[in-house]
Amino acid sequence: MTNDTVLVIEPEFSGHRWRYAEWAAAACIEAGYRCVIVTASANATHPLAQRLAAADDASLRIAFVDPPAQASHGRLGSVSYVRFLRDFQHLYRSVSREYGVALVIVPYVDYFFYALPFFGSPFGATPWIGITMRASFHHSQVGVRAPRRPLVNTLKAALFRRALRASGMKTLLSIDPTLRDWYTGAAEQRGAALGGAAVLYLADPFPDTLASDPAEARRRLQLESGRYLLVYGAITGRKGIHELIDALTERQDPVRLLIAGEQDADTRAYLHSVTSALTQPPVILDRFIPDDLERDLFSACDAVWLGYKGHYGMSGVLVQAYRFNKPVIATSDGLIGWFCRNGELGPVLDELSATAINAALDQLFPDGAQGATVHALPGAPAGHMLAQNTLSQFKKTLQLAIS
């Protein structure tokens, strides 16, 4: 059996995880490999799964394998890192029987990364690449605003260095540009050589697409004239939606929310109970958002809300706002705050108080007038670091890691 197949293992298709699986597979196919996306059967009805099944392309398949019952994980099954590592081991073994596997790619290695020092690779001797999206233990040392947890962060830093020595691991890719700088800088300070897998920056991508005409996008979305603030993605309390609506209830101007993305049950109930208190009721799209609708939403809005709370990682919505040349209202926390720190992408919030939020809205919409024109971000910096967050750059970086 020829080893010419790459397995992209992603059991969850929520949020942006299905996109990463698809984009990683595309990069592998362009590099000359066949590819199989391995996921749970619960995702069989997801649009990506249905599209792949309909295409029936021999170079890109999808395989559905469910993790084993939790009881089979033994005494350590209650530890999520261990449970996920064993799940990935099961998924790999189930599918690798049918293919000659050259490489495994894990688009979200944070599932089990910190179990690697204790249990090793779930893929045996097969080479593999992981993408980390949640590593934050180093943030306080590189100027990223995040909770200070000295003991936890020191422990995770030690586990991080040991995990990089897991068998078969070729490269760890991070969507956090500060992680590689921290890793190389910390090694230099200790006088230690870098050991194990390479650590590279992988710019969180957005497809290379052109914006729609704003007026046409609003017509397709059936939006009335006015100023629209887009809240986009998986809509939960962590989006800062409660604080944003509390602030809007104090305003009389026609700033209107455009809320797009699948909501959790608590947020759905909350929005149902409070939206009548707003001067302008929000436009709500509580469903999966396909690419063409996403393009219209970012084309039609005036600004994008990024006043998240308890979120310290990267945000794909920030990348999208940048690519569509739309100003943001951003938290100063985490990587969102780090990328927006000089204010050139829009107002930055040190707190999610109604006063701070309304001051940011006044900065974006100083006249409070109701107009239909969508204004681009004034002087959007073409040389900003986010300019490299494209799908083509994502593929190049991943192909470099594969080679």
Residue 192 CB neighbour total at 10 angstroms: 10
pLDDT for 374 equals: 45
pLDDT for 377 equals: 59
Task: Name the band, by pLDDT with cuts 50, 70 and 90, for residue 400.
Answer: very high
Residue 247, burial from CB neighbour count under 10 angstroms (0-12, 13-18, 19+): buried
Q: What is the pTM of this model?
A: 0.89
What mean pLDDT do residues 346-362 have? 96
Residue 77 pLDDT greater than 80, yes or no? no
Question: Please, what sign has the CA dihedral across residues 218, 222, 226, 228?
Answer: negative
User: Kindly report the CA angle at 272 between 267 and 274, in degrees rounded to 5?
Assistant: 95
Give the DSSP H/E element, type plus range, for residue 247: helix 241-248
Task: Name the band, by pLDDT with cuts 50, 70 and 90, for residue 384.
Answer: confident
Q: What is the per-residue DSSP string for 187-222?
A: HHHHT----SSEEEE-PPPB---PPPPHHHHHHHHT
| pLDDT tens-place string over residues 222-257 | 999 999 999 999 999 999 999 999 999 998 887 999
Phi-psi region for residue 2, left (φ > 0), alpha (ψ -120 to 50) or beta?
A: beta
In angstroms, the CA 340 to CA 368 distance is 24
In angstroms, the CA 166 to CA 196 distance is 7
User: Can you identify the CATH homologous superfamily of domain 214-387?
Assistant: Glycogen Phosphorylase B; (3.40.50.2000)
Give the DSSP H/E element, type plus range, for residue 242: helix 241-248
Sheet holding 227-232, edge to edge: 283-285, 255-260, 227-232, 303-306, 328-331, 348-349
In angstroms, the CA 62 to CA 9 distance is 10
| pLDDT tens-place string over residues 156-201 | 999 999 999 999 999 999 999 999 999 988 655 554 556 789 999 9
The chain-wide mean pLDDT, for the chain, equals 91
Residue 373 pLDDT greater than 70, yes or no? no
| pLDDT tens-place string over residues 255-285 | 999 999 999 999 999 999 988 778 788 999 9
pLDDT for 202 equals: 97
Closest CA to 246 of 351, 365, 368, 371: 351
pLDDT for 59 equals: 95
Residue 1 pLDDT greater than 70, yes or no? no
CB 11 within 8 A of CB 39: yes
What mean pLDDT do residues 318-328 have? 94
Residue 72 pLDDT greater than 70, yes or no? no
Asked if the 5-202 domain carries CATH number 2.60.120, the reply is no
CB 396 within 8 A of CB 123: no
User: Where in the chain is CATH 3.40.50.2000?
Assistant: 214-387
The pair of three-digit structure tokens given for residue 255, joined into one six-digit string: 């700033």
In the chain, the percentage of residues whose pLDDT exceeds 90 is: 80
Which residue pairs from 294-297 have beta carbons closer than 8 angstroms and sit at least 24 positions apart in sequence? 294/232, 294/260, 294/320, 295/209, 295/211, 295/212, 295/217, 296/212, 296/217, 296/220, 296/221, 297/217, 297/221, 297/230, 297/232, 297/258, 297/260
